[in-house]
Every structure is written in structure tokens, then in C-alpha cells.
Structure 1
Amino acid sequence: MTDVFAAADLGPVRLRNRTVKAATFEGRTPHGQVTDELIDYHLAPARGGVGLTTVAYLAVAPEGRTHREVIVVGEDTRAGLARLADAVHQEGAAIAGQVGHAGPVANGRSNGVRAVAASRMPSPLSMQLVGAATERDLTRITRAYVAAARVLVDAGFDVLELHMAHSYLLSSFLAPGLNRRADRWGGPLVSRAKLARQVARAVREEVGDAAAVTAKTSLGDGFRGGVTTDIGLEFAQLLEADGHLDALQLSGGSSLMNPMYLFRGEAPVNEFADAMPPLVRWGMRTPVGRGFLKEYPFEEAYFRDKALRFRDALSMPLMLLGGINRLATMQQAMADGFEYVAMGRALLREPDLVQRLRDGAATEGACIHCNRCMPTIYSGTRCPEWVVDPL
């Protein structure tokens, strides 16, 4: 069986082991720039033994931010990104940048720029209408992905993770309920997938083997009209056939329609409401608002069954994500044929968990999946039971 703690290659990048700190929005860039707090956030899991830590979320364009505090990758953010990459490298870990465009998940009111999506739709985030992306928009956004990729590679990032899930822009084109277009970008999946495939090809052609290029894709969005497991698998097969990506990270849920499908466990409705502006806070406490944060029972590796369908159908490297908290689960993932394991909440709670599992000091993490970390994205993402101590 493959050793999860042994060194491994991810495309052209050598990782010290097969563990990945998954992208969990940090909430530490109040002015859209890298801060010491953001660097400390990623130094903690790097010092704690992960092979790869992922910076989230890096927007390719101003209207592609989830909200105005998000970093837009460009010349004015390059120096800070380079400082971040250098700091992580000094701890022996590799660094990935989650590169994307939020599409309908963007808060146009916060950003001060109109949000765009596959089709026109109301935004529950900004209480505005999200516009349908034009041909000019899609050409500009594709070029923006390429420019962002070049900046990140020049800044020293090892891996580019293209965000193709969670109802962000590329995902909104894949979802039949969000993409009602009658042009060449709509209709059958092969047409709805054109934008994502175009972006992957353009980024790979730009960076070559200077960095690994991966994608976060969906095993299922968890809402009617979203990406289903069948759609997600067919899309993954298209990506594999194109040959532009080094791995897929298998995720699920929708930041716009059903976020708890990704997280599972308790839904912290009251804590989320307290973190929101007054109008949204009121809406969160109505029956409709409470229904938005559905509760799904938590179980270890809750995406495994769906992910095994992808593993059986694909030959490219895959990262298993979703409630991985125990050494036995990581070992099972290796036995199942997954090349990497990605962890989120477990490393928020214990950023040194990988090192402790590797050294035999622990067999499982302390995260209880209460999800009280979720509302902290507005004030600095953290486990309420743990405070970052970079020293």
C-alpha cells in the first residue's frame, strides 16, 4: 500500500508527502493584500507537516471576488504572494493557489462591480441581479486566468488549483439549472463544459511544466439543477481526455445553494446570523434562511462512495476530500487508489496533525465537526477552540 507520508510527485512538483491542506477561506486580507496574518495561517500547517498548503481564494478579476477583501492576483499583489510562497517553502512544504472567478457567488454590492454568471439570476448575497456573461466577458476572464497563473508561477507558487466547483463561475456553466443559455456555451454538457476546458487548456499552455495544474471539481452540488454525480463524472472524463491537468480534487456542495452538503455535521445557523449584516441576519433567522443551512449527518470520509466511482472510471491522480480526520481513513484512501488526501477542518483545529499522525503521537484528530469555524471566515477563519501561534 502507498505510504501517505512518503514523498510523491504532483505533476512536475515534488511533495514531501501526500497530504494537502485544502483551501479554506482565510479571512486575513482586509485590504486585498497578503498580510503577516495570512502568512502565519499557512505557516502553521506547513510547520505541522503537510505536503501542500492551499491559499484560498485568489480571484482572477475584480468582479470575480466573493467580496471586496479578496486578493485579486496581479502586479500589485505579486510581491506579497512571493513573500508568502517563500515563507512556506522555508518550512519544507509546497504551496498552491486556488485560482478562480466566483461568478454568481460574488457579492457585487460588496465588490462595487457587477457579478456575472452563466445566466441572469438574482443574487441572495447582494440582493442584486447577476448578469449573464457575454462573449467579451468570457474572453476577458479566460485571459485573466492566464495572467493570474503567470503571476503566481513567477511568485513561486508550485501548484495552481483551478476552481471548478461550488457554483463558482466555471461550475455555474456546468450546472443545467444555472446555465439556461441557448448559445454555444449552453445546452448539452459538452457545450456547458467548454469554458472550464478552455481555461484549463489556456493555463497549461501558459505555464507548461513550471507548475502543477489541478482542478477542484464536484461529485455533486446537492441541489436540484446543480451538478450531479453523473454530470461531475462525465465532466472529469472530459478533463482527463484533454490532458491539461495533473490531478483533480473531488469536492461537492454549492456555496450559493447548499453549502452544508460540502461540510456535513451541525449547521451553525445562529453563529452565521450573528456574523452577517442586519438584513441578512434577519433573513438567516427565518424558516427559509434556516433551511438554507441544511444539516447532513457527519461520517468519516463522507464523499468516499461517490469518489470511488470517479476512481474506477479515471486513471488520472485524484485527491480525496471530505471529513478526513483519522490515520486509518488516510490509509484507506491510499488502499482505494487515491493519490492524495485533502484535509480542511481537521487542520484548522490542529495544524500539526499530520506530523503527529506521522510520528505516532496520534491516530485521529480532535475536530468534532461542529462547523463553528464556518462563520469565522468574516473575522479570520479559525477553530474557536484553537488560536494560531506561529511561534
Structure 2
Amino acid sequence: MADGPGVAGSAGEAAGRGPDVMGPGRLGPLRLRNRVIKAATFEGVTPDALVTQELIDYHLRPAEGGVGMTTVAYCAVSPEGRTERRQLWMRPEALPGLRRLTAAVHGTGAAVCAQLGHAGPVADGRSNKAASLAPTAGFNALSMRRNRAATAEDIDRVVRAHADAALLAAEAGFDAVEIHLGHNYLAGAFLSPRLNSRTDAFGGSLRARAAVALGVTRAVREALGDRIAITAKLNMKDGVRGGLTLDDSLQVARWLEEEGSVDALELTAGSSLLNPMYLFRGDAPVRAFAANFPFPQRLAIRAVGGRFFRTYPYRPLYLLDAARQFRAALRLPLILLGGVTDRQGMDRAMAEGFEFVAMARALLREPDLLHRIGGDASTRSLCIHCNRCMPTIYTGTHCPVIGETAS
């Protein structure tokens, strides 16, 4: 296993403020040039489910802008595990493009991580031409089809697929993998009492509901050893009635720590299936999402979209209150996500014991934000948390406000 999460002797540590966020940090076997990670955000630029120059450029921007590591989003471990057919999935055919991507990012001095996962009930079965897997069979409003309850054989296959995808990522030159256990993707759906009503070895008690998540992380660790860093993205809570609670998530995190299967946890929240805005906070872009659909669906989304895209006020470090409880309970390195946009917030995270911070929307708005913060600690992000970047996943994820400003 890795040595400690920090690099001793930084100015911040000497002053008793925690490590310097702009100084180097250790993530398992990996040494990062700083403690800021570009979080995974679906890029929407892989029309053939393979790496494109647009995907490489997407990650070059924050890498050149100074982050310690950038994360390639939603590298599905199997074809039916994609959210939809254009999403990148890990297989030998993808290897040449993945190598070009990692080499390009390494040329900037940054590290690069592959987020591995299986979308489960969040997958669009119609687009994938394969039934979406879920803990329990039921209607999937995202694809207007029924999910299929995963069998024990399906679960074994998906666990092996995570290990195979992790090995492929290492072969492609990735410095880390992030295992997606959140947002009601397959592993996260098994954790949810609301979505998992099974009575077999994968349902009922928390330990049984956690079997998929623990099995996946264990398999990835057994496959990789300490070859590259391994992190996991874990919901602290789903933000829906009957979903995963903070207390249950804390116990899952304790099990992950005890098993030594991950080098760090990135703490998240919300459900891509039931309540996505619980993660994002800020404005709910219902009309912008509706505009991407043909006329009948557009009207339906505008009429009922407010029930799905609920509004939660934005505030800096909006996941910190919940994340503190994980920091108090664990020795495992933790990555703080949610409303990290300026040096003040980063320093506060370090002072409260978090080893890394993750940024997403702010870097869409300003890929060079970290360089600017490094030059002037008073720099404030220009992101207005309108969330209009979210619907751009259909045409290539970007900040639409930039174009408006330019015009």
C-alpha cells in the first residue's frame, strides 16, 4: 500500500494549516504536482465510443491550466454499462486512442485518471440496444424500457470487467483509476434500499447491499496491486427518500478502508437516476435540457422537468458539512468535491484534513483557473452556477456562457 497521503515539510503543514494545496501530494503510489484534481464530467465527444482529438483537447485544457490530475469521465467497463451508445467503453480497440490521450496529458506535467463504472439503471437501454441492469427489475424512465434484474452471473461478469478495464487503463498509461460507486450507477444502485429490494446475497442488509461495491474495488486492487493509484467515488447520501443514508455510507467507507482496496475516496452525493441536482446545486436548466429533444418530448420535459431537476441553492463547499463526518471517522485520504472554486475554499479543505480537492464546472468556465489562483490568491471563479453546461453533453460539454461573453 501507499505511504502517507501528504508530502511532509510543506509551508502549510509547518504553519499548522494543513498541507499547501498548491504543493505536491501523494495519492497511493502516485505523486501529484499539486492537490487539485479535475473531477470527472461527461465530455460528450466520443461519437464512436472511442477517443477523439476533441476528448484529448478537453483534458489538455485543465492540464495545461495547472491541475495535478484530470479525470476522464465514465469509461464504461462493458457495452451495456454505458449511459448511452456514444460513451467510451474500455476494450482493446480503445487502447491506441487512450495512449495518445495519456501521453498528451503527461506532456503538460499533469497526471491522468480513468473513471471506471457500469451505469446500471442509469444506462439508456434503447441507445445501447441492450437491457439496462439494475438490482431489481423495473421501469426505466430514462430509456422508456424496463431494467433487467442483474443475476449472480451478471454481477460476476461486471466485477471481472472492472478488473479488466483497470488493467487496460494501466496499459494505456493512466496514473490512476476512479471506481464509480455513486449516483445510483450499478454499484450505487445496489447500495440504495430504494432501488434494491433483493432478498438474495446482494440485498437486504447493508453488508449484502455493499457486496457489489466491495467486490468491484477488491477485484481492481487484486488486478492492479500498487501499480497505479486507485480511488473510488462514493455517495455520502443519495438525496432521495429511501436512498442511501449518510450513516450507511460511512459504514461502507469504513469497510473500504479496512480492506485497503482504495487509496482515497472522492465524496459525492445525489442520484443521476432520481435527483441529479442534489450534487450540482444552483440553477436547474430544465428548458435547456428540453431543447435537445424533439417536440413531444420537449413539451413533456418542460412540463414535469422541475420534479426531476429540483433546485438547491448554491453555496461554496456545499458538501463540506457531510464530508466532515467522513473525515472524523476515517484515516483514509479524502477528496473534497462540491463548490471548490477559490483559494480560500481550497485552504479551508486542507485545514479541515482533506488531502485533495476536486473541481469541475469552474474549470469548464476557466480551464486556466488554477494558474490564475496560483498567481493571485484573491482570484474568484467566473462560474455563475447556472448549470447550463449540463445540457451541452449532447453536443460536447462546454460552458455556454463563454460564447455569450465573446459575442
TM range (shorter): over 0.9
Counterpart among 147, 162, 167 of residue 164 in structure 2: 147
**Residue 290 of structure 2: SS of its match in structure 1?**
helix
The letter of the residue matching 1:167 is N
Q: Matches of 2:292 and 2:325 in 1, distance apart?
A: 38
Counterpart among 184, 189, 196 of residue 179 in structure 1: 196
How much does 1:276 deviate? 2.7
Q: Matches of 1:220 and 1:280 in 2, distance apart?
A: 30
Q: Are residue 30 (structure 1) and residue 30 (structure 2) matched?
A: no
The letter of the residue matching 1:370 is C
Over the residues paired in the alignment, what is the CA RMSD in angstroms? Answer: 1.0
Q: Are residue 322 (structure 1) and residue 376 (structure 2) matched?
A: no
Match of 1:363 in 2: 379
Structure-to-structure mapping, 1:149-298, within 5 angstroms: 149-286=166-303, 288-298=304-314
Q: Matches of 2:297 and 2:230 in 1, distance apart?
A: 37
> 1:278/1:127 Cα in 2 relative to 1: closer, same or farther (>3 Å)?
farther
Q: Matches of 2:294 and 2:255 in 1, distance apart?
A: 41
The letter of the residue matching 2:105 is V
Instruction: Report the count of equivalent residues.
Output: 386
Q: Matches of 1:298 and 1:155 in 2, distance apart?
A: 37
Q: Matches of 1:162 and 1:121 in 2, distance apart?
A: 25
How much does 1:386 deviate? 2.9
Q: Are the counterparts in 1 of residues 183 and 270 from structure 2 also a CA contact under 8 Å?
A: yes
Q: Matches of 1:378 and 1:150 in 2, distance apart?
A: 29
Match of 2:154 in 1: 137
Structure 1 unaligned blocks of 5 or more:
none
Q: Matches of 2:377 and 2:351 in 1, distance apart?
A: 22
Q: Matches of 1:163 and 1:117 in 2, distance apart?
A: 15
The letter of the residue matching 1:97 is A
Match of 2:84 in 1: 67
How much does 1:265 deviate? 0.6
Match of 1:9 in 2: 26
Q: Are the counterparts in 1 of residues 229 and 263 from structure 2 also a CA contact under 8 Å?
A: yes
Q: Matches of 1:166 and 1:277 in 2, distance apart?
A: 27
Q: Matches of 1:59 and 1:41 in 2, distance apart?
A: 18
The percent identity for this pair of structures is 54
Moved more, 248-257 or 230-239: 230-239
Counterpart among 341, 352, 372 of residue 336 in structure 1: 352
> 1:44/1:180 Cα in 2 relative to 1: closer, same or farther (>3 Å)?
same
Moved more, 142-151 or 226-235: 226-235
Q: Matches of 2:42 and 2:167 in 1, distance apart?
A: 22
How much does 1:361 deviate? 6.7
How much does 1:278 deviate? 4.1
Q: Are the counterparts in 2 of residues 271 and 375 from structure 1 also a CA contact under 8 Å?
A: yes
How much does 1:238 deviate? 1.2
Normalised by the size of structure 2, how large is the TM-score? 0.93
Q: Are the counterparts in 1 of residues 231 and 262 from structure 2 also a CA contact under 8 Å?
A: yes
The letter of the residue matching 1:377 is I
Q: Matches of 2:308 and 2:133 in 1, distance apart?
A: 22
How much does 1:385 deviate? 2.3
The letter of the residue matching 1:232 is S
The letter of the residue matching 2:345 is T
Q: Matches of 1:36 and 1:273 in 2, distance apart?
A: 28
Q: Are residue 53 (structure 1) and residue 70 (structure 2) matched?
A: yes
Q: Matches of 1:314 and 1:73 in 2, distance apart?
A: 32
Q: Matches of 2:246 and 2:292 in 1, distance apart?
A: 33
Q: Are the counterparts in 2 of residues 25 and 381 from structure 1 also a CA contact under 8 Å?
A: yes
The letter of the residue matching 1:379 is T
Counterpart among 348, 351, 360 of residue 364 in structure 2: 348
Match of 1:41 in 2: 58
Q: What do the CA deviations read for 1:244-302 (whole angstroms, capped 9, x no partner)? A: 1000000001000000000001101100110134443232112x322111000100010
Q: Matches of 1:289 and 1:382 in 2, distance apart?
A: 22
Q: Matches of 1:113 and 1:279 in 2, distance apart?
A: 25
Q: Matches of 1:43 and 1:333 in 2, distance apart?
A: 26
Q: Are residue 20 (structure 1) and residue 37 (structure 2) matched?
A: yes
Q: Matches of 1:258 and 1:276 in 2, distance apart?
A: 20
Moved more, 53-62 or 232-241: 232-241
Q: Are the counterparts in 1 of residues 343 and 377 from structure 2 also a CA contact under 8 Å?
A: no
Q: Matches of 2:142 and 2:398 in 1, distance apart?
A: 23
Q: Are the counterparts in 2 of residues 328 and 363 from structure 1 also a CA contact under 8 Å?
A: no
Q: Are residue 83 (structure 1) and residue 94 (structure 2) matched?
A: no
Q: Matches of 2:336 and 2:265 in 1, distance apart?
A: 9
**Residue 72 of structure 1: SS of its match in structure 2?**
coil
